[in-house]
Structure 1
Amino acid sequence: MTDLASLLVDRPWLYRATPFPHVTSDQVFTADFYSELAEAILELLSRGLSETPATGRFSRGMRGYDAYGIGITEELGHPLNVFLSPPWRDLLSDLFAVGRTPYVFAGAHHHRPGGANGFIHTDFNPVWFPVSPPGRTSIRLPDPAVCDFKTGAGSLAPSEKIETIRGAVVIYYLLNEGWQPGDGGETGLFTGRNPESLTTRRPPLNNSLVAFECTPTSFHAFLANRRPRTSIIMWVHRTFEEAVERYGEDQIERWQL
């Protein structure tokens, strides 16, 4: 992959403290690389939207979330593999002092017009991966065929899988031409689980992002949209031990299965 620094616009990212610490940027990638990313997502969208889980297509399957999603895998290659690269992992981890691990997940989301508000959540969730061998420096992606993403169930032996906790997340917006205030589709940031605690609406402007550490108080949600809304979302994962030491095991938001 091309050196990450050469793909990024040379402009500071902004740190904001409320309603919880988060980072924003309105110009992330160079114009050329943004165009490559947009073309890659357009090609995936051109395969059609599936109402049931379908490999290789945007499809429904996320409980409580009115969106079509697709996982970003190594097979998709350039340019989407930038979100699976160690340099991008390091950038996001280091922004929020999350210990670097090989464990990463990335995907793309698409909302048709009329999408409903998402549920308010923190992303401070446990996630299972096939364990990465000692000394491995490459990225390890989840593999639900052998290790369920939320429970760890599957064919792997206990020594072959690992429970991690989402450490930080970045939401990158693209293909939202012509967006204007009132169109919706923002990422809402809240002080609590009450919808009335909405503090910040992060607009889905092309080539912009919002990123934050996943903590017991990183309350956020998708806000209802009047126009199509597309984004790429990526998480880095911290060790279970680091999450417990920093926030306590009782604060981990277990999945409602």
Structure 2
Amino acid sequence: MTTESVMEAQARTERFADLFAHRRWIRRSQPFPHVYARDVFVPGFYQRMTDDLAQVRRDRPELFGQVATNYSADGVALAELRDTSLAVFASREWHDLVAGIAGVTATGDVEGSVHHHGPGAPYGWPHNDLNPAWFPGAAPGPDEVRLPDNSVVNTKFGTRESGVPARESVRAVAVLFYLGNPGWQPGEGGETALYDNLAEGEKMPELTLIPPLDNSLILFEVTPRTWHTFAGGNIKDRNSVVMWVHRTKDEAIERWGGDRIVYW
């Protein structure tokens, strides 16, 4: 890296740090290890994100599609938001911050989207996010990130034209950032449910509800026991950024065992 590029990287890092309101992020051990934070971004930048999301929904509604056939949210991929302030979630600085907090060696691959649940959305299904993802091309460099491109490589299944290079990685850190839910109050639904444990054949365990408060987040290393879901029952629109950084498949197998990876 040249002297000029080092200076540019330092300036970029300083600008990134200026986006945060404070560093009082709380580590919690129950029901599984996670980090919780309120007032994540400074008010001006948070407002830019909500304004940008509203503008994209108003001006480019064709970008929003159903997230999954059995899931009540529609969404827009981070790859479609690179010309907005929401691109912060697809930056190398954010990738490195998230991986560092979780203590994970991440690949530079970022997967995610903004999810929108309309009023009255149903309860989701418990899942742990220990899933694979395929990314096109060579591994990103130390200052880059790679986003999925389903037009080249199917993100979930890796299907592609013959000769097209792709890499399989496994979700390593999950982040849920809540925005565009002004004035949320207890009883209005739409929380994220975290489960203490969820073994096959057992009764539903105790759960912790994370409220969808604006400008707050939850972050956790993805493991076989990070069971969570959308708790449903929201009486108003509920919006969030849902994203992951990844680790290599070899590391995931070494850490958890290949049989613990949940294929689609």
Q: TM-score, normalised by structure 1?
A: 0.90
1:32 CA drift (Å): 0.3
Q: Which amino acid aligns with 1:110?
A: H
Matched, 1:177 2:186: no
1:60 CA drift (Å): 1.4
1:4 CA drift (Å): 1.4
CA distance in 1, matches of 2:116, 2:212: 12
Matched, 1:214 2:222: yes
CA shift in 2, pair 1:195/1:22, >3 Å: farther
Q: Select 1:228's aligned residue among 213, 233, 237.
A: 237
Q: In structure 2, what is the equivalent of residue 46 of structure 1? A: 58
Q: Deviations over 1:126-170 (max 9, x none)?
A: 110013257463111111111111110011536x11110000011
> Which moves more between the two structures, 187-196 or 9-18?
187-196
Spell out the pairing of 1:138-177 with structure 2 (5 A cutoff).
138-155=144-161, 157=163, 160-177=165-182
Higher helix share: 2
1:192 CA drift (Å): 3.2
Q: Which amino acid aligns with 2:72?
A: D
Identity of aligned residues (%): 39
Q: Select 2:262's aligned residue among 250, 253, 256.
A: 253
Q: In structure 1, what is the equivalent of residue 209 of structure 2? A: 201
1:196 CA drift (Å): 3.0
Does the aligned pair in 2 maintain the 1:96–1:168 contact within 8 Å? yes
**Structure 2 residue runs without a partner (length 5+):** 1-11
CA distance in 2, matches of 1:61, 1:231: 13
Q: In structure 1, what is the equivalent of residue 87 of structure 2? A: 81
**Structure 1 residue runs without a partner (length 5+):** none
Q: Which amino acid aligns with 1:22?
A: H
Q: Select 1:13's aligned residue among 10, 19, 25.
A: 25
1:191 CA drift (Å): 2.2
Q: In structure 1, what is the equivalent of residue 99 of structure 2? A: 93
Q: Which amino acid aligns with 1:5?
A: A
1:11 CA drift (Å): 3.1
CA distance in 2, matches of 1:195, 1:40: 42
Q: Which amino acid aligns with 2:97?
A: L
1:117 CA drift (Å): 0.5
CA distance in 2, matches of 1:141, 1:175: 24
Q: Which amino acid aligns with 2:40?
A: V
Matched, 1:103 2:109: yes
Q: Deviations over 1:44-94 (max 9, x none)?
A: 222476xxxx4x2x2214132111111012663231111111110001111
Figure out how many residues of one structure are paired with residues of the other and give that number: 248
CA distance in 1, matches of 2:81, 2:51: 16
Does the aligned pair in 2 maintain the 1:64–1:119 contact within 8 Å? no
CA distance in 2, matches of 1:34, 1:15: 23
SS at match of 2:253: helix
CA shift in 2, pair 1:240/1:201, >3 Å: same
CA distance in 2, matches of 1:142, 1:156: 18
1:195 CA drift (Å): 7.6
